[in-house]
Chains A and B, each alone.
Chain A
Amino acid sequence: MALLAQIGKRLRGELRARLFPKRAGSGLPARPVIRALVWARRAVQTGSLLLFLWLLVRTSFGGTFQGDVERVRVGLPVEGFLMADPFVAAMTLLSTRTVYRGLLWSIGILALTLVFGRVFCGWICPFGTIHHVTAWLFPSRYGKGGKRVEANKTHPVRQRVKYYLLYASLAAAVAGSAIGGMLDPICISVRAIGLSVLPAIQYVTRAAGAGAAEVSSPALLSATDSAQGALAAALHQNKPFYYHHAWLIGVLLVAVVFMNRIIPRFWCRVLCPLGAFLGTFARFSLVGMEKDHAKCTDCNLCLVHCQGADSPQGGVKWRQDECHMCFNCESACPEDVIKFRFFPSRKGVTTVPDTGRRTAIASAAAGAALIPAARIADVVDTNYNPLVIRPPGAVEEKEFLERCIRCAECMKVCPNNALHPAFFEAGVEGLWTPVLIPRIGYCEPSCVLCGEVCPTGAIQKITEEQKLGIGQKPISIGTAAFDQGRCLPWAMATPCVVCEEFCPTSPKAIWVEEVSVEKRDSTPAPDGAEPARRHLTVQRPHVDPSLCIGCGACEKVCPVQDKPAVYVTSIGETRSKTNVILLDGQDYNKGS
């Protein structure tokens, strides 16, 4: 009893010390509004990260019994964070001279920045929150104690890098490519969590389930079955998802998160082009910091908690473009030095990014030069890789590269795991753009979800009527061809035609010809003579290229497992005027 009472007293003391810490120095408490704001920020960060993850997990069609039988849609603005991303809007504005649909929402984030500075980075960005939490939970010895103060001081050379990446990305956009999307933090979050973290969780669940199935216990089996069912409904889907070279995307995520151990919020301070974009607008912000340098005792408590490495301490200029507006510094300051307010005095403040003009111009030039450099190699028009099958509704390749930000929303939503991030199939410039790999999954004919979630219009929002060709020509993404040396009825006198069964068009693009073929028995005749031969009728499949939509169902189901006897390449895709076989339907006199 006495012991319990003692432990209770200790715990209460501990709790009080945690809740109301004794402040260093003069111990002046922070303003209540600031303390409230710090907690509000934490709540917003948590909510925003959870909202992001929830939308990411919901980027799929799980089926419903209430749904419209004719039209299947996700029904949620799952690409919302990307639509609100001003860096994405700016890139696609420069490359296409238009702001696509929901990207207009990015004005909202811009407006927020013009009033409050980079609050997006400190309060809203899900990727920023991930770095915030890891830098707080897992500092190495370089990020603790006195070393943390050093680590959180402005490092001008390092922190300039993100501006150079921003200038290069925007210049590349002017040159015709939204390649900068590879570096956008929202795109990275969707791509890395959607294509590698979630499939990894699914893999582990499945492995654990398979392990449980080895143990012959019905109770355990039914428990793991329900657990797997529940996880599939909540997190991923029933079907196991794998992504082409997703290991690289996963390794890069781990690497950039690991850097927080050495330099807190390494990504946000050093690399993030969206942060840099908002940083260039932070100069107009109405809210800012005032410092009373005379009162500062150099206790460095502000620096210990600083997120942006924006020099909150006394004696130096505050870097407005680097500040994430987390209010940790004012909350920590025991001396009444730091004050955030509307229309602050701009004395002793650096509002504009401090980038060397020459390096800035050079990095922009490098970004602009990258695109022609990538395109003088064999992509886009000549010697086009036949394996680059773009999703249905994708715009013509040149415009596609102007729009695709590699956010991987389409790959995440694809119900058949058909869309994958390209490696170098689509050229250097096409890294992580979506390609369809029919052997892993075919394009479900009535599905238009990839276009629904594409935030930039690289894949247009097509309807079922357009895709299936109801009252019009259907959208084709390629054409199938038979490898007659591997096809069972063609080469091995064996019935098959699973391809014809799965061909979804009506009339079927795959049609069969009944032929009588000779088949030799596998065993020799009794007297050791040549094995007997007999005639049998098989159905040999053919493709009608004018009907084939390139969905790849035939390739997916071909029983010749390792290298299928029917395969799809991009030839005949609707979006291209040059990647064509047939003459009909192409009236060149009309102009485009």
Chain B
Amino acid sequence: MERPDRREFLKRAGAAGAALGGAALLGITRWDRGDPSPTGPRGERISRDYRVDDTPPADAADFVVAKDDPDPASLVRKALLAMGGMRRFIARGDIVVVKPNIGWDRTPLQAANTNPAVVGEVVRLAIDAGAKRVLVTDASCNEPSRCFTRSGIWKAAYDAGAEVTLPAPHLFRAMRLKGELLDEWPVLATLVEADKLINVPIAKHHNLSRYTGAMKNWYGSLGGRRNRLHQKIDLSIADLATFLQPTLTVIDATRVLLRNGPQGGNIDDAADRHTVIASIDQVAADARACALIGQDPSAVPYLAMGESRGLGTVRWDRLRHREV
């Protein structure tokens, strides 16, 4: 029997050695020693403040109630004019995100989503003020394409020149909110990757929190299993309003939902109010709109929480206010 020569011996021994070395190297570099892993989420806790720090024109108000006009778009125009115009809030070249409430598969008459004409007019004003891009998005409760279509907001925003982004799972990224209750949650990235953020909610009854408008509208920025938030609804709303402080809040109260909120379903549950509230203070806007749908602001705990956290004031009449 012929034995392998020295060259062959070295080759075979070398190959076996290299395979062993490679395996050992891989094993050692990827070795999990089973040490207790660092618990909890990593990264900085963040909040997003989009408010503008300006010296407004002398005659400009910070809180405007526009009313008694059947045309929603005209109400929005009047309110913003009284605030010193959209240019006060939007700089040339800004990326602006408009966040309506597009939560439900309901038509405008049922008043469960923001009125499309209000959304469209806000978009138009932002573009006229020089915004580079205006995005409209929301994380809906019902099936999103249906909500965006049947609310009429898709068409209204598109016609006004906005980009409409439907919530897709890959657009949610885990973020650490600066919250008492909420720590790490998936947040709709489109919403926070903006220069300016305009909150355009609708004023509605809510069976658990009594009233929903501006602050509660930030539920629509979250992904994940947000159905758990109801267990501490006031605290979670206050946390979200601390996380996202918008440039401007425009509450649509042209037609409001008085019962069976937040979803409604029956047009008899809704009533016309022909009002739009614009404010730089989200707590003040909510306090005023809350009274408008017949609820007592002092019975809505998250408003007081917002005030004590310094997010704003429920005493809207202490702001430079005006009615038009």
Where the two chains meet, the residues of A that have a C-beta atom closer than 8 Å to any C-beta of B are: 61-67, 69-70, 72, 206, 209-210, 213, 224-225, 228-229, 232, 237-240, 415-416, 444-447, 488, 494-498, 500-508, 512, 539, 557-559, 561
Complex Cα distance, B107 from A72, in Å, reads 12
B146 touches A447 (CB 8 A): yes
Interface residues on B, range: 35 or more
B3 interface residue, CB < 8 Å from A?
no
B170 interface residue, CB < 8 Å from A?
yes
Q: How far is the CB of B217 from chain A (nearest CB, A)?
A: 15
- Identify B150's interface contact among A72, A228, A239, A488, CB under 8 A: A72
Residues in chain B near residue A64, CB distance under 8 A: 149, 154
Residues in chain A near residue B149, CB distance under 8 A: 63-65, 67, 69, 72
B173 touches A495 (CB 8 A): no
Decide yes or no: A495 and B263 within 8 Å by CB, A61-B146, A63-B144, A66-B155 being known contacts. Answer: no
Residues in chain B near residue A561, CB distance under 8 A: 225
Residues in chain A near residue B207, CB distance under 8 A: 497, 500-501, 512, 539
Residues in chain B near residue A65, CB distance under 8 A: 149, 154-155, 158-159, 164
A558 touches B227 (CB 8 A): yes
Where the two chains meet, the residues of B that have a C-beta atom closer than 8 Å to any C-beta of A are: 105, 107-108, 141-146, 148-152, 154-155, 158-159, 164, 166-171, 173, 206-208, 225, 227-228, 230-233, 260, 262-266, 269
Decide yes or no: A445 and B105 within 8 Å by CB, A512-B207, A539-B208 being known contacts. Answer: yes
Decide yes or no: A238 and B169 within 8 Å by CB, A495-B231, A497-B208, A557-B227 being known contacts. Answer: yes
Decide yes or no: A495 and B170 within 8 Å by CB, A70-B107, A502-B263, A559-B225 being known contacts. Answer: no
Decide yes or no: A488 and B145 within 8 Å by CB, A445-B105, A497-B207, A539-B208 being known contacts. Answer: no
A228 touches B155 (CB 8 A): no
B168 touches A504 (CB 8 A): no
Closest 7 CB pairs of A and B: A63-B145, A506-B265, A238-B168, A506-B266, A65-B155, A65-B154, A559-B227
Complex Cα distance, B97 from A289, in Å, reads 69
A213 touches B263 (CB 8 A): no
A495 touches B208 (CB 8 A): yes
- Identify A494's interface contact among B155, B167, B231, B260, CB under 8 A: B231
Interface-central residue, B144, B206, B230, by most chain A CB under 10 Å = B230
Q: How far is the CB of B161 from chain A (nearest CB, A)?
A: 12
A-B contact pairs, 20 of them (CB 8 A): A61-B145, A63-B148, A65-B155, A65-B158, A69-B149, A72-B146, A72-B149, A239-B168, A444-B142, A444-B143, A447-B143, A494-B231, A495-B230, A497-B208, A497-B230, A507-B260, A539-B208, A559-B225, A559-B228, A559-B231
Q: Which of chain A's residues has its CB closest to B266's CB?
A: A506
- Identify A225's interface contact among B155, B171, B233, CB under 8 A: B171
A69 touches B150 (CB 8 A): yes
18 more A-B residue pairs beyond the given contacts A65-B158, A69-B151, with a C-beta to C-beta distance below 8 A: A61-B145, A63-B146, A69-B150, A206-B169, A238-B167, A415-B143, A445-B105, A446-B146, A447-B143, A495-B232, A496-B230, A501-B263, A504-B265, A508-B265, A512-B207, A557-B227, A559-B228, A559-B230
Residues in chain A near residue B171, CB distance under 8 A: 225
Residues in chain B near residue A444, CB distance under 8 A: 105, 142-143, 146
Residues in chain B near residue A239, CB distance under 8 A: 143, 168-169
Decide yes or no: A206 and B170 within 8 Å by CB, A63-B149, A495-B233, A501-B207 being known contacts. Answer: yes
Interface-central residue, A61, A65, A557, A558, by most chain B CB under 10 Å = A65
Residues in chain B near residue A446, CB distance under 8 A: 105, 146, 150
Complex Cα distance, B324 from A440, in Å, reads 49
Residues in chain B near residue A210, CB distance under 8 A: 170
Interface of A is mostly: loop
Complex Cα distance, B227 from A206, in Å, reads 24
Interface-central residue, B143, B150, B225, B231, by most chain A CB under 10 Å = B143
Residues in chain B near residue A232, CB distance under 8 A: 168
Residues in chain B near residue A558, CB distance under 8 A: 227
B262 touches A501 (CB 8 A): yes
Q: How far is the CB of B198 from chain A (nearest CB, A)?
A: 20
A504 touches B263 (CB 8 A): yes
Q: Which of chain B's residues has its CB closest to A444's CB?
A: B143
Residues in chain A near residue B150, CB distance under 8 A: 69-70, 72, 446
Complex Cα distance, B146 from A70, in Å, reads 10
Residues in chain B near residue A61, CB distance under 8 A: 145-146
Residues in chain B near residue A238, CB distance under 8 A: 144, 166-169
Residues in chain A near residue B145, CB distance under 8 A: 61-63, 237, 415
- Identify A228's interface contact among B105, B143, B170, B233, CB under 8 A: B170
Q: Which of chain B's residues has its CB closest to A210's CB?
A: B170
Complex Cα distance, B150 from A69, in Å, reads 4
Interface-central residue, B144, B145, B154, by most chain A CB under 10 Å = B145
Q: Which of chain A's residues has its CB closest to B159's CB?
A: A65
Residues in chain A near residue B265, CB distance under 8 A: 504-506, 508
Complex Cα distance, B143 from A291, in Å, reads 61
B164 touches A498 (CB 8 A): no
Complex Cα distance, B169 from A209, in Å, reads 10
Residues in chain A near residue B269, CB distance under 8 A: 506
Interface-central residue, B169, B173, B206, B233, by most chain A CB under 10 Å = B169
Residues in chain B near residue A501, CB distance under 8 A: 206-208, 230, 262-263
Complex Cα distance, B168 from A213, in Å, reads 14
A229 touches B168 (CB 8 A): yes
Complex Cα distance, B108 from A240, in Å, reads 29
B168 touches A228 (CB 8 A): yes
Q: How far is the CB of A470 from chain B (nearest CB, A)?
A: 11
Residues in chain A near residue B158, CB distance under 8 A: 65
Complex Cα distance, B167 from A240, in Å, reads 12
A415 touches B146 (CB 8 A): yes
Q: How far is the CB of A211 from chain B (nearest CB, A)?
A: 11
Residues in chain A near residue B263, CB distance under 8 A: 501-504
Q: Which of chain B's residues has its CB closest to A70's CB?
A: B107
Complex Cα distance, B155 from A490, in Å, reads 43
Q: Which of chain A's residues has its CB closest to B167's CB?
A: A238
A498 touches B227 (CB 8 A): yes
Decide yes or no: A506 and B228 within 8 Å by CB, A65-B164, A66-B155, A228-B170 being known contacts. Answer: no
Complex Cα distance, B146 from A69, in Å, reads 9
Residues in chain B near residue A496, CB distance under 8 A: 230-231
Complex Cα distance, B140 from A323, in Å, reads 54
Q: How far is the CB of B84 from chain A (nearest CB, A)?
A: 32
Q: How far is the CB of A278 from chain B (nearest CB, A)?
A: 39
Complex Cα distance, B171 from A558, in Å, reads 24
Residues in chain A near residue B151, CB distance under 8 A: 69
Q: Which of chain B's residues has its CB closest to A240's CB?
A: B169
Complex Cα distance, B158 from A558, in Å, reads 34
Interface-central residue, A210, A495, A539, A561, by most chain B CB under 10 Å = A495
Q: Which of chain B's residues has its CB closest to A229's CB?
A: B168
Complex Cα distance, B25 from A103, in Å, reads 65
Complex Cα distance, B279 from A378, in Å, reads 64
B264 touches A506 (CB 8 A): yes
Q: Which of chain B's residues has its CB closest to A62's CB?
A: B145
Q: How far is the CB of A413 from chain B (nearest CB, A)?
A: 12
Q: Which of chain A's residues has its CB closest to B261's CB?
A: A501
Residues in chain B near residue A415, CB distance under 8 A: 143, 145-146
Residues in chain B near residue A503, CB distance under 8 A: 263
Complex Cα distance, B147 from A447, in Å, reads 11
Q: Which of chain B's residues has its CB closest to A445's CB?
A: B105
Residues in chain A near residue B152, CB distance under 8 A: 69
Residues in chain B near residue A66, CB distance under 8 A: 155
Complex Cα distance, B231 from A229, in Å, reads 34
